[in-house]
Amino acid sequence: MMRLLVMAASVLLMSCVMMQDKKPIKVYLIGDSTISIKETKAYPETGWGMPFVYFFDESVTVDNRAKNGRSTRTFIEEGLWQPVSDNLKEGDYVFIQFGHNDEVETKKSYTPKEQYKANLARFITEARNKKAIPVLLTPAARRKFDAIGKIEGTHNEYSELVREVAKKYKAPLIDLDVKSQALLQQFGAENSKHLFLQLEPGEHPNYPDGKDDNTHFSELGARKVAQLVLADIRNLKLELADRIVKKEVKAN
């Protein structure tokens, strides 16, 4: 028994030493409502940045600066980007996912294509000036299926702009549009409703009249999308990948 206790203490001590040897990493998330932290009154709506924080060891701090309704342009104009840029340090990460609000011409957040690209380039350049690591993400897919149950893209043009900027600036790219479309296709037209804010009248007190939302995620959907991001962090072989704690999430 004593031998087992000594071995357990040794393992714990070794784990603590290894943790102390790891340089702290800060990960900033900038983007829109598909990532952001939600107020209690919005639950069960969940941004994928919320579960994302729980998949890393204690050496990683996730600072979620995403805000509902923001585009690249309004994120800059409202002064949301500048504090991030000012506080970046060497080795920090900036995950950049916009597009939902940039691409809709009828929204006040609309950003023309060339300005969208220029804004993404600005995020990359300013992050690199601080020796931080910018990571571009195409916008997460909306739930839209055709008559035969095939997923349809709704961000095609603006997702392609993200790919162009990533290629030009040789920035890491997580093609979340493509990956999340594949996830939705895997679930199918009906079951994919569980990934979004889909509620019947009376099902949740925050939405007494129900909700039919194919853009914003449920708690399950947010976790599944966060796992897509985590998988590509590993695929890209970012240093951050070594800090991921393996946790499996199973759908009921």
User: Choosing from 36, 85, 126, 216, which is the catalytic residue?
Assistant: 216
- Integer-rounded Cα radius of gyration of the chain: 20
Q: Which of 58, 77, 157, 200 is catalytic?
A: 200
Asked if residue 116 lies in contact with residue 160, where contact means CB atoms within 8 angstroms, the answer is no
Q: What is the dihedral of CA 192, 195, 197, 202, to 10 degrees?
A: 80
> 28 forms bridges with which residues in the sheet?
63, 94
pLDDT, one tens digit per residue, over 47-58 is 999 999 999 999
Q: Of 216 and 10, which is predicted with more confidence?
A: 216
- Is 164 a residue of the active site? no
The reported pLDDT for the residue numbered 142 is 97
Q: What is the residue extent of each domain of the chain?
A: 24-243
The per-residue pLDDT for 127 is 98
| Residue 189 and residue 149 in contact, taking contact as beta carbons nearer than 8 Å | yes
Q: What value does the mean pLDDT take over residues 78-97?
A: 97
SS3 content of the chain, % helix, strand, coil (to 5): 45, 15, 40
Ordered strands of the 133-137 beta sheet? 60-64, 25-31, 93-97, 133-137, 173-174
Q: Give the model's pLDDT for residue 3.
A: 53
pLDDT in tens, 95-122: 999 999 999 999 999 999 999 999 999 9
Task: Establish whether 200 is a catalytic residue.
Answer: yes
Assess whether pLDDT exceeds 90 at residue 195: yes
Domain 24-243 has CATH 3.40.50.1110: yes
Q: Cβ–Cβ contacts within 10 Å for residue 167, how many?
A: 11
Band (pLDDT 50/70/90 cuts) for residue 20 is low
Across 61-65, 187-191, 242-246, least confident range: 242-246
Catalytic pick among 33, 85, 109, 180? 33
Could you read off the pLDDT of 121-154 as tens digits, one per residue?
A: 999 999 999 999 999 999 999 999 999 999 999 9
Of 226, 228, 219, 229, nearest to 251 by C-alpha is 219
Kindly tell me if the per-residue pLDDT of 248 is higher than 60: no
State how beta strands 211-217 and 93-97 pair: unpaired
Q: Which helix (H) or strand (E) segment is 202 a member of?
A: none
For position 22, what pLDDT does the model report?
Answer: 81
Mean pLDDT, the chain, as a whole number? 91
Q: What does residue 198 show for φ and ψ, rounded to 5 degrees?
A: -115, 110
What is the structure's pLDDT at 247? 54
Tell me if residue 10 is catalytic: no
